Chains A and B, each alone.
Chain A
Amino acid sequence: MPAKTERTAPVRTADDALVRAGRALRLVLLIALAALFLIPFYLLVRNGLASEEEITSAGWTFFPSRPHWSNVRELFADPDVPMAHALLNSSLIAVATTAGTLLLASLAGYGLARIPYRHANAVFYAVLGTLMVPAAVTFVPSFVLVSSLGWVSTLRGLIVPTLFSAFACFVFRQYFLGFPRELEDAAQVDGLGYWRTYWRVVVPNSRPVFAAVGTIVFIGAWNSFLWPLVIGQGRSSWTAQVALSTFTTAQTINLHELFVAATASIIPLLLVFLLLQRYIVAGVERSGIDD
């Protein structure tokens, strides 16, 4: 390390000026890009708090003359827009999907990683194989199955088929393969079987991976659109995304209400996102490339 500073000493002035100019330029560029990236969020809030006339006025103003908080009341009082119910559906679906996926996928991942069984590899490849089948392409056959079960327009139909995430199972398996074996061995010496070892030793020591997979699954479930569009055909089973989409393409729309609705639909997610961001980053890094 000290060698490095000595090396650059003779040419410091010229290089320094260049490096500093480069750094300043990069910072200016980053600030401009960051502003661009934030504009859509700003527009959501600006339009949500503006009156209908201000949204469609040709003279652009950066902020509405005064915040129209009444837009929020109007939205939730509008009988044509079942937004409160749609938000409730989205919450139920996202929470149930996250809880169910974590339970099923973590158990399966642990079994695949740790219980020596003759056909474990075959089972693992059968799970891995479904990762090759893009989920979006299976919406036609899955619709066929769910409709033959009579689950169209039900919460069951929206939740149950999405609970079996090969991706989540895979992440858990890779994680448990690297889990320190000594901890489990100690538990087994104490006479705990697989089941109690799992719940008392493995789960309490694996919170970060549960948080990482959980946030990714939650965000995915909250934002998913194609499946709820296909299955949620009745108004009572609309999710927030389907409801928003339906209003966007409707003949007559109240823009100010629509933007409040959109803002309301991203607030829960932004909270989850900002609170658990480091777990998402960890999860993305772990799942995307490493394995």
Chain B
Amino acid sequence: MSAPGSTRRRPRGRERNRALWFWTFVGPFVAGLALFTYVPLAWSVYLSLFDAHNTVSPTDFVGLDNYTAMLGDPAFRSSLVTFAVFTAFIVPATYALSLGLALAVNRLRFAQAFFRSVFFLPSACSYVVAAMVWKLSVFNGVRFGLANTVLGWFGAEPVAWLASTDPPWYWLVIVTVRLWLQAGFYMVLFLAGLQRVPVRLYEAAALDGARPGWQTFRHITFPALRATSVAVVLLLVVGAFQAFDEFYNLLSDSRGYPPYARPPLVYLYYTALGQGQDLGLGSAGAVILALIIAVVTVVQSRVSGLGRKEE
């Protein structure tokens, strides 16, 4: 610290000086955050109470009508079902694959960096590019698509992957693209978790006669990864809720977006910025979604004890 004499002589001046420096460092960031996060949020709540077609300064107050309209809309409810189905597939799939990759890569004696890089590399790819490869090359509905070519080697007929709802093969396309993009990211989180498991736990288990492999995993590794697992599942669920890019890019074409498989954000996008530009209804939807995500996050944190342990 600086000279103690000055502290005693002018405590007031020092305090003011610190406040000044604090706001010099923090002020620009907080001002921007307030303008571009808090103001839009407040404005959104305000707009959601108005009939706001195509305008950001509406005059027609409608109370909670936008909310009742949104919650009563079967299309909005079906968007929530779409999200639930998507989550039910993508969360366990990513969890299992990323944990499996981490376990396999973690104990490699050689080429560890190579395998880690290969699995992590898709994290650098955008959803747009990945969706393009999936839609136009791998899961193209015609004979030249890679998946249909491979099926053809076994004598199977080409499958219209994205165009048919019965059977809903599009789920396979949507889930695999996200799985490819995000598994490596979560693998890195698990690798970090694995490195923190104390070696003496394994030594103690070996002394107690636990065989390496399943027993050790079941009784040592898996419990030790609990905090990581909780955080990964939380991130996966919130991430699934925000799914937009791959749905939009895989399913929409020159004729627009099909009526099926619209997760909440896609639905919201078309409500607020599509033909009607209904910003009041869109804002109500955004508020509802934010609340749902908040509730899911809080409930999940409570159930799994996230935060309590880490604080």
With contacts A108-B25, A141-B40, A193-B21 taken as known, whether A26 is within 8 angstroms of B143 at the C-beta atoms is no
The number of residues on chain A lying at the interface, defined by a beta carbon within 8 Å of a beta carbon of chain B, is 100
For the complex formed, measure the closest distance between the CB of B190 and the CB atoms of chain A, giving whole angstroms. 10
- State in angstroms the CA–CA spacing of A285 and B120 once bound together: 13
Q: Is B227 a contact partner of A289 (Cβ separation < 8 A)?
A: yes
Q: Is B161 an interface residue (CB 8 A)?
A: no
Q: Is A140 a contact partner of B244 (Cβ separation < 8 A)?
A: no
**Residue among B121, B248, B286 making CB contact with A140, cutoff 8 Å:** B286
Helix, strand, loop or mixed for chain A's interface?
helix
- State in angstroms the CA–CA spacing of A142 and B286 once bound together: 11
Q: Is B95 an interface residue (CB 8 A)?
A: no
Q: What residues of B have a CB within 8 angstroms of the CB of A189 in the complex?
A: 2
The number of residues on chain B lying at the interface, defined by a beta carbon within 8 Å of a beta carbon of chain A, is 101
Q: Is A144 a contact partner of B40 (Cβ separation < 8 A)?
A: yes
Q: Is B21 a contact partner of A225 (Cβ separation < 8 A)?
A: no
Please give me the residue from chain B that is nearest to A248 by CB atom. Answer: B132
For the complex formed, measure the closest distance between the CB of B151 and the CB atoms of chain A, giving whole angstroms. 11
Q: Is A55 an interface residue (CB 8 A)?
A: yes
Q: Is A24 an interface residue (CB 8 A)?
A: no
Encode contact with A along B242-284: 1 for CB under 8 Å, 0 otherwise. 1011001100111000000000010011001100000100110
Q: Is A104 an interface residue (CB 8 A)?
A: yes
B 285-302 contacts with A by CB, 8 A: 285-286, 289-290, 293-294, 297
- State in angstroms the CA–CA spacing of A195 and B269 once bound together: 44
Q: Is A291 a contact partner of B310 (Cβ separation < 8 A)?
A: yes
What would be 7 A-B contacts, judged by CB atoms less than 8 Å apart?
Answer: A111-B26, A117-B19, A139-B269, A144-B47, A166-B37, A225-B127, A266-B125
| Supplied contacts A4-B203, A223-B125, 13 more A-B pairs, CB within 8 Å | A7-B206, A37-B122, A44-B129, A60-B149, A111-B24, A111-B26, A118-B15, A126-B30, A134-B293, A194-B25, A245-B249, A273-B121, A277-B120
Residues of A within 8 A of B (CB): 4, 7, 19, 22, 26, 29-30, 33-34, 37-41, 43-44, 47, 55-58, 60, 104-105, 107-108, 110-112, 115-118, 120, 123, 126-127, 130, 132-145, 147-148, 160-161, 163-164, 166, 169, 185, 188-189, 193-195, 198, 219, 222-223, 225-226, 229-230, 241, 244-245, 248-251, 255, 258-259, 262, 265-266, 269-270, 272-274, 277, 280-281, 284-285, 288-289, 291
